[in-house]
């Protein structure tokens, strides 16, 4: 079974802090994604990565950056956390080959509160 893990289930940070959210997958997937999920807005893509050191902006990249130094790990960084970044953050991974249809597997989520 594919396993995607996230470093924290719950996180409370102060405004202005630098925040790191970590995601690790164990299936050698090329693609990794960071989403945020908010009531009434659904899932929105922040960034994704299709290979080590490769990244692309999603729909809402402002205020975020990412790092992918190893294939299995994809980090989301909030450079200076703000209260409007309070949200549920979800990481996902997928394999782009025809065998697997880009099926996305999700981690358990990190509920981030910025006070």
Partner 1 sequence: KQEVTQIPAALSVPEGENLVLNCSFTDSAIYNLQWFRQDPGKGLTSLLLIQSSQREQTSGRLNASLDKSSGRSTLYIAASQPGDSATYLCAVKETSGSRLTFGEGTQLTVNP
Comparison of 16 and 52: residue with beta carbon closer to partner 1: 52
Q: Are strands 31-38 and 87-94 parallel, antiparallel or unpaired?
A: antiparallel
Comparison of 18 and 106: residue with beta carbon closer to partner 1: 106
Q: Is 31 in the site for partner 1 (CB under 8 A)?
A: yes
Structure-token pair, residue 89: 């953050």
Q: How far apart are CB 22 and partner 1 at their closest, in Å?
A: 15
* Total residues in contact with partner 1, by rule CB under 8 A: 25
Touching partner 1, residues 67-86 (CB under 8 A):
none
Comparison of 85 and 93: residue with beta carbon closer to partner 1: 93
Helix (H, G, I), strand (E, B) or coil at 83: helix
Strand ranges, E, within the chain: 4-6, 10-13, 19-25, 31-38, 42-51, 54-57, 64-70, 73-78, 87-94, 105-106, 110-114
Q: Are strands 110-114 and 10-13 parallel, antiparallel or unpaired?
A: parallel
Which chain residues interact with partner 1 by CB under 8 A?
4, 31, 33, 40, 42-43, 45, 48, 50, 58, 88, 90, 92, 94, 96, 101-109, 111
């Amino acid at each position: 079974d594919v396993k995607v893990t996230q470093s924290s289930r719950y996180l409370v940070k102060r405004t202005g802090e630098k925040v790191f959210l970590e995601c690790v997958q164990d299936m050698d997937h090329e693609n990794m994604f960071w989403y945020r999920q908010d009531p009434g807005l659904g899932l929105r893509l922040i960034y994704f990565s299709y290979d080590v050191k490769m990244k692309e902006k999603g729909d809402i990249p402002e205020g975020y950056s990412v790092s992918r130094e190893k294939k299995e790990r994809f980090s989301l960084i909030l450079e200076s956390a703000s209260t409007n970044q309070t949200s549920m953050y979800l990481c996902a991974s997928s394999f782009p080959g025809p065998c697997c249809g880009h099926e996305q597997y999700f981690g358990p989520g990190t509920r981030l509160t910025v006070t």
